[in-house]
């Protein structure tokens, strides 16, 4: 496991956004109380495919899955793979648990809380895919340290992805796009940007499913960018 020292950017609290919104409906509360505990990532200890799914299988991890549409659709598409999603927003988690129930997904595990806390408990080279889709942009320069895309987290992403594994990042925010490209350039020993021409990052490819936020962004006339990086 990668060891992170006290004072490392990862040890700071990375949960800056809201963790709950409107009051849950009774059915949603039941999903949280009854189904979530059955599919929750254990609160402590190493997180492996064997431990979560009873066998070795390709693992996917989604940071900040929102309401879980992307996670559920990808899990539906790849039933032999294992999917882990982390999201602190209670209402989003409730909706995601509903997708797991409605699609009868046996290959999804969820964590309500900070993605980096779970990611650190995965064995190095344990992941085949890592998704960071429309992370909160924190556009003000003084909030740049709050962005998920920063050197500490990206080092963690590199440690946890296996060689040939893929990091997918989506954003529609020009400040975040420039920031993400710059951060990733500093890590080009670990990651190779797969885009060769603009259509490669202007359109989703490789079974990339648009998220709820991505669809809203296009409806409102913004342009989502889709960055795919291969772990060297």
Ligand X SMILES: C[S@@+](CC[C@H](N)C(=O)[O-])C[C@H]1O[C@@H](n2cnc3c(N)ncnc32)[C@H](O)[C@@H]1O
Q: For strands 191-193 and 161-171, give the pairing.
A: unpaired
The candidate with the shortest Cα–Cα distance to 204, out of 95, 74, 110, is 74
Check the annotation: does 46 bind a ligand.
Answer: no
Q: Among candidates 148, 142, 77, 160, which has minimal Cα distance to 114?
A: 148
User: Which position among 8, 76, 124, 136 bears the catalytic label?
Assistant: 136
Which of 211, 225, 227, 229 is the binder for ligand X (CB under 6 A)? 211
Span interacting with ligand X, options 100-108, 181-189, 190-198, 212-220, rule CB under 6 A: 212-220
Is 210 known to sit in a ligand binding site?
no
Of 48-56, 74-82, 85-93, 120-128: span binding ligand X (CB under 6 A): 85-93
Give, as ranges, the residues between 64 and 83 that touch ligand X (CB under 6 A): 64-66
Which one of residues 82, 92, 126, 165 is an interface residue with ligand X (CB under 6 A)? 92
Cβ 54 to ligand X shortest distance, Å: 26
Least separation, in Å, of the C-beta of 55 and ligand X?
26
136 among known catalytic residues:
yes
Contact in structure between 167 and 191 (CB atoms under 8 Å): yes
Interface positions, 113-172, toward ligand X (CB under 6 A):
114-116, 133-136
Q: Which residue has the tokens 């594994």?
A: 165
Reported as half-sphere exposure (CB side, CA atoms, 13 A), residue 150 has a value of 16
Is 197 annotated to bind ligand? Answer: no
* Shortest distance in whole angstroms from residue 9 CB to ligand X: 12
- 111 by Cβ neighbours in 10 Å (0-12 / 13-18 / 19+) ranks as buried
Residue nearest to ligand X (CB): 64
The residue with tokens 């995965």 is 122
> Is 112 within 8 Å of 36 (Cβ atoms)?
yes
CA distance 213 to 45: 32
Binding segment (CB under 6 A) for ligand X, from list 63-71, 76-84, 177-185, 196-204: 63-71
Three-class DSSP category at 191: strand
Where is the binding site, in residues? 62, 87, 114, 136, 140, 172
Chain positions contacting ligand X, by CB under 6 A: 14-15, 17, 63-66, 86-89, 92, 114-116, 133-136, 211-214
**Residues annotated catalytic, as ranges:** 136
């Amino acid at each position: 496991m990668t060891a992170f020292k006290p004072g490392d950017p990862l040890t700071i609290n990375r949960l800056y956004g809201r963790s709950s919104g409107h009051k849950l409906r009774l059915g949603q509360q039941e999903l949280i109380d009854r189904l979530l505990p059955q599919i929750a990532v254990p609160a402590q200890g190493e997180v492996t495919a064997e431990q979560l799914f009873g066998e070795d299988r390709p693992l996917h991890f989604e940071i900040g899955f929102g309401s879980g549409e992307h996670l559920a659709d990808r899990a539906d598409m790849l039933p032999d793979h294992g999917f882990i999603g982390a999201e602190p927003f209670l209402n989003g988690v409730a909706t995601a648990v509903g997708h797991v129930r409605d699609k009868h997904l046996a290959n999804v595990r969820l964590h309500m809380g900070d993605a980096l806390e779970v990611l650190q408990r995965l064995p190095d080279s344990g992941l085949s895919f890592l998704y960071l889709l429309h992370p909160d942009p924190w556009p003000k320069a003084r909030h740049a340290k709050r962005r998920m895309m920063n050197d500490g987290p990206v080092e963690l992403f590199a440690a946890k992805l296996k060689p040939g594994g893929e990091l997918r990042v989506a954003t529609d925010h020009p400040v975040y796009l420039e920031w993400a490209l710059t951060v990733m350039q500093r890590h080009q020993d670990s990651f190779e940007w797969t885009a060769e021409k603009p259509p490669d990052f202007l359109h989703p490819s490789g079974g990339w499913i648009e998220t709820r936020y991505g669809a809203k962004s296009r409806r409102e006339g913004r342009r989502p960018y889709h960055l795919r990086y291969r772990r060297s």
